[in-house]
Amino acid sequence: MPARRAERTARLLAVLLVLGLPLGLLLARLISDRSSPVVEIHARMPHDGGFLPGEIQAVAGEPLRLRLVSDDVLHGFAVGQTDFPEIDLYPGQTVETTLVFDQPGRYTYVCTRWCGPDHWRMRGVIDVRPAAGETASPPAADPPLYLELGLDLDAPHPARVTPASRPAAVTGIELPGRYRSQDYLRAASPAQVWEALRSDPVTRGMDDEQVWGLVAGLWQESTTPQRLEQGRELYARSCAACHGETGTGDGVFASQTPRDAERSDHAGAVEGHASPGGAVDGHAIEAPAEFTDPENMLGAAPALLHGKIVRGGMGTGMPYWGTVFSDDQIWMLVEYLWTFQFDLEEGK
């Protein structure tokens, strides 16, 4: 009975198709997944090695498959200067994620959970090379402003004048336009701006404290409540543990500022030992800066604070953040730091 046979063959073919198609697709996916290998990164407390490995390779435009494992406590994983979501790494759990970098360059990955006093030292580098056939080098970043201005980040910068009490921002006063230029307000310390305003006929008839109110007003106008709010969040997460929630330098980890901090601050550097006095490379480990101290802060230009955050203290215990945050995030941090000196209108 050939008709029946043909029918049976047809049915068999249909079954094969229905089963075979998904099976085939699955197989194809497994094979293509294999083609980009998984890189496993272990997270450990910094004194046990931090992120292992500390440097990985990727190619621009190609998926980088990561398997993240915490070997001890809760850590976090985030890639600086990118929008990739942060990942929490609970001990004993394995998390897989795939990242695709559009641009070649060296990206820093960091731990986002305070896992111990050396938490900020948990950093690694993803070296993203250009795609095959492309030689495009990453766009060169502008040098930080402090270099352009020739500011010495390591010199003391006491203010020559300070207010009698904490200035509140006074806005809406007519001032010559040059006082409002961003270039000027980033390059000059509040004390310098105060001196310039004080000797300007525009402040005749005002007392010294009123002039400080004008200075605070200019600082208010060079930011927004939204930027201050974002700066506050960044500060709470990455700075408060040393500098203190209220900027007084009494963060929970302040007393434990690592003695040989700067050694591992430079990628690839070997673990070093601080000399008994706590000095590293000729620099002494210092207490975290007090952002509430008017003499210190009001003598600092915004560009100087920006530079310090970008570059770090080079051995003082102040980490560098230039590869962790975007330039805009660093400026938002700087803007937020002034709220420890001035009453500014903050976003809530």
48 or 127: whose CB is closer to Cu ion?
48
**Neighbour tally for 129: CB within 10 Å:** 14
For 20, what's the count of Cα atoms within 13 Å in the CB-facing half-sphere?
6
CA 122/CA 210 separation, integer angstroms: 46
Q: From the list ligand HEC, Cu ion, none, which binds 243 (C-beta under 5 to 8 Å, kind-based)?
A: ligand HEC
42 or 259: whose CB is closer to ligand HEC?
259
Strand (E) positions, 158-292? 279-280, 283-284
Q: Nearest approach, Cβ of 37 to ligand HEC (angstroms)?
A: 34
In the region spanning residues 74 to 133, those forming contacts with ligand HEC, defined by CB under 6 A, are 120
Q: What is the DSSP letter of 63?
A: E
Binding flag, residue 298, ligand HEC (CB under 6 A): no
Are residues 126 and 58 in contact, defined by beta-carbon separation less than 8 angstroms?
yes
Of 144-152, 162-170, 208-216, 238-246, which segment contacts ligand HEC by CB under 6 A? 238-246
243 or 259: whose CB is closer to ligand HEC?
243
Binding flag, residue 239, ligand HEC (CB under 6 A): yes
Q: Nearest approach, Cβ of 82 to ligand HEC (angstroms)?
A: 17
In the region spanning residues 253 to 292, those forming contacts with ligand HEC, defined by CB under 6 A, are 257, 286, 288-289
Q: Nearest approach, Cβ of 122 to Cu ion (angstroms)?
A: 4
In the region spanning residues 170 to 189, those forming contacts with ligand HEC, defined by CB under 6 A, are none
Which distant-in-sequence residues (6+ apart) come within 8 Å of 317 by Cβ? 242, 257, 258, 261, 285, 286, 288
Helices (H), the chain: 2-35, 145-149, 182-187, 190-198, 208-221, 225-238, 240-243, 261-265, 294-297, 302-311, 327-337
241 or 344: whose CB is closer to ligand HEC?
241
Binding flag, residue 111, Cu ion (CB under 5 A): yes
Q: From the list Cu ion, ligand HEC, none, which binds 111 (C-beta under 5 to 8 Å, kind-based)?
A: Cu ion
Q: From the list ligand HEC, Cu ion, none, which binds 197 (C-beta under 5 to 8 Å, kind-based)?
A: none
For 234, what's the count of Cα atoms within 13 Å in the CB-facing half-sphere?
23
Q: Nearest approach, Cβ of 94 to Cu ion (angstroms)?
A: 16
Closest by CA to 162, choosing from 218, 101, 208, is 208
Phi, psi for 298 (deg, rounded to 5): -75, -10
State the DSSP H helix or E strand holding residue 107, giving kind and residue range, or none if neither: strand 105-110
Q: From the list Cu ion, ligand HEC, none, which binds 126 (C-beta under 5 to 8 Å, kind-based)?
A: none
**Tokens in use for 9?**
């063959």
Q: From the list Cu ion, ligand HEC, none, which binds 144 (C-beta under 5 to 8 Å, kind-based)?
A: none
Binding flag, residue 241, Cu ion (CB under 5 A): no
Angle between helices 208-221 and 190-198 (to 10 degrees): 130
Binding flag, residue 75, Cu ion (CB under 5 A): yes
What is the binding site for ligand HEC (CB under 6 A)? 120, 238-239, 241-243, 257, 286, 288-289, 296, 300, 305, 308-309, 313, 316-319, 321, 333
